[in-house]
Structure 1
């Protein structure tokens, strides 16, 4: 038994070293048509070079299952659009939702002509609305003049620009374009949805059964439409919905495109495909809390994380954060226009204070702040609730008791300057009484002699 435990411990260690994803390296690719496997060889080769064990299976395979003995059989799933009208019994929306509830990650690829109803049901669970079958996205102002000079269905999308208020996991250099041929989708108001590639104002999705030149009522248009959307669930499982499977193919990786009145350039699809799978499979955007510390500020030997504080204590709070960057932990940096905040709450926040970097190590950043406890005893909580697009949610809460002053901790009257007048009055009264007594005792009345008469 000892040797078996050592063996499995070493096996787990080796798997963690080879797998760059924090959730594992077992990757299922649901691909019905095995003939198109070579069309995506670069995409699959990049995944294998990053340490993934790629298992390509047909969704119609009766032996295919996402679970084994109640646990995940795979860590990640890539679902290609099938030729048939359904994926199969192993990839129903209910099982895919269960897969994400067990911390599995999904990359869902759709197409205008091969998106089954199961994909739409899964998307509706995420508050994403996919268009009906045979609907295609076009853009008459941002298209490739080489491959789509007539239909305008190869859309050229600019890489997302760098943002100062969010993490930039998908932004490239200026001028990078992504070739897209597929369909757009619309998003609901769910706060867990993060648009990655939004459509331009001139794009729209229409029914290909109609003449695109006369599509007066498109299904969706403009900035309300999106090409690629990321979803991070409350358990930090991730789902990416792409309106195009072709954008991950060798053809689009090697394509040279030219916009109207523009110059020929190579697409950035391969770099974007790598970045979107790194995020979806938790190779990037993963934030870990190393430690949480709070203590009295004015004591050098103060205990760490005590359960009780006193009102008006000076308190220091620290949280240490690291970010996983492909293959190692690095210090986590908050964007310039964003803020990491501490809430000191009792039902409602009494304080909401910014946490600023105080110490940066090789693999972590310590954010800290100091404050004076309010003059209100009760049960309080330190809480850091940091939920931002494209990073795992940080929600740390630590409950403490805030007591009132003990009888021997109140400030003495002579330490209160406002009481000096009254203390002086008492002293003057006592001194006056002593002087009066002394005068009374030592000031005897004079004797008067009375002459006796016979």
Structure 2
């Protein structure tokens, strides 16, 4: 956990205690520490990285932006917290994750959905409630607001990997108070402004970019505020603990094992199939949370039976115990096929499985002796033969 200053660690004791209670060991250092290193002799020393140093223009030791990107490429996770004083280095790092933070000095304002803390009204203290519908990421539901004070971001609507976890209220906007308003105004406003963004890379590494590092502090986790004239506590503590556990792959992890297939009526897995065989495909999918596995239950897991193009694409049925299965008839096409599962559900790790299996045609001795569909042809051949003999007999013996 890299902080702006190691002496400010007491500001995040409640957050760190929550991580410790979840089973994580937290090593706290300042971002300028000359002994910093994530990797030694080709081995990564840490599983996760927390960056709470929004003003950092560089790092001490052997850490730089490329090292952090290599850390992510190797399947590790990053939690990045910034504020309105975000440096270009932090903005560049967030951009590598697909999150475009607003300019330095900008703040999120909302003159309608703000909170009063310690008797001070502050339009930059946002009482946010617009969470993504993904309980595995955010937990909840929460009756209390989530306090946010910081910088907004924009995420491309075409992004397949990024999820806006917490959106700004419809009446919020991002602006630098030290600069004059443009004419016409060009503001990041409403739901287009992302307060917290989660990214899951294709290798299942997870990154979360929070525009407010202060929302993880003790003051916000235990705050009592006034919103709309009513006094209330905040949901920050439960929310950030759940979000951080998801980031560190302590929630929403799917593990697919024991892929198998066989002919109906047999339990042995064959080397291949014959066209038109009736087969059954099975795979076990478990959800891992807090180090414990439980059966995953969903109706949107599907398998494809592919040879260049999918000949079969069907959803898998689950038995409630983690086993997903499908019975189907092998297509009347021979060649080299493969089973293919490419499953992605918001908040859960990706599943990608392939298994190759050949499909052969009928052998010569496997065809039926007489085909029902060929009876008309049999009759036509016999009728021609019969007609030939009748006509021949007529010409030979008729005077």
2:375 and 2:79 mapped to 1: Cα distance? 74
CA separation of 1:425 and 1:218: change in aligned 2, threshold 3 A:
closer
Q: Would the aligned equivalents of 1:159 and 1:176 in 2 still touch at CA under 8 Å?
A: no
User: Is 1:323 the counterpart of 2:287 in the alignment?
Assistant: yes
Provide the TM-score with structure 1 as the length reference: 0.79
CA distance in 2, matches of 1:125, 1:421: 69
Q: Secondary structure at the match of 2:241?
A: helix
Provide the rounded CA distance (Å) in 1 between the counterparts of 2:55 and 2:328: 62
SS at match of 1:205: strand
Distance (Å, rounded) in 2 between the aligned partners of 1:222 and 1:148: 26
| Shift in Å, 1:270 | 0.3
The match for 2:198 among 230, 247, 259 is 230
Residues 154, 179 of structure 1: 8 Å contact kept: yes
Question: Which deviates more from structure 2 when the two are superposed, residues 307-316 or residues 272-281?
Answer: 307-316
TM-score, normalized by length of structure 2? 0.90
- The answer to whether structure 1 residue 360 and structure 2 residue 320 are counterparts is yes
Q: 1:57 to 1:258 in 2, by over 3 A?
A: same
| Secondary structure at the counterpart of residue 46 of structure 2 | coil
1:417 aligns with one of 372, 376, 387: 372
1:95-114 equivalences in 2 (<5 Å)? 95-113=67-85
Structure 1 residue ranges (4+ consecutive) displaced by more than 6 angstroms after TM superposition = 424-434
Structure 1 gaps, min length 5: 1-28, 435-454
**What is the CA deviation profile of residues 19-72 of structure 1, one whole-angstrom value per residue up to 9, with x for unaligned ones?**
xxxxxxxxxx10132332111111111112222221111111111101011111
Relative distance call for 1:174 and 1:219 in structure 2 (3 A) is: same
Tell me the equivalent position of 1:301.
266
How many pairs does the alignment contain? 389
Contact 2:35 2:61 (8 Å CA) reproduced: no
Partner SS, residue 138 of structure 2: coil
- Render the CA deviation track for 1:172-224: whole Å, top value 9, x for unaligned: 13523101111110112331111111122211111031479x99735411211
- In the alignment, the residues of structure 2 paired with residue 116 and residue 107 of structure 1 have an alpha-carbon distance, to the nearest angstrom, of 16
In the alignment, is residue 193 of structure 1 matched against residue 162 of structure 2? yes
Distance 2:357 2:348 in 1: 28
Is the 2:54–2:83 contact (alpha carbons within 8 Å) kept by the matching residues of 1? no
Aligned to 2:177: 208
Where does the alignment leave 5 or more consecutive residues of structure 2 unmatched? 390-399
SS where residue 271 of structure 1 aligns? helix
Structure of greater Rg: 1
Counterpart of 2:115 (choices 144, 152, 155) is 144
Q: CA deviation at 1:150?
A: 4.4
Tell me the distance in 1 between the aligned counterparts of 2:33 and 2:142. Answer: 44
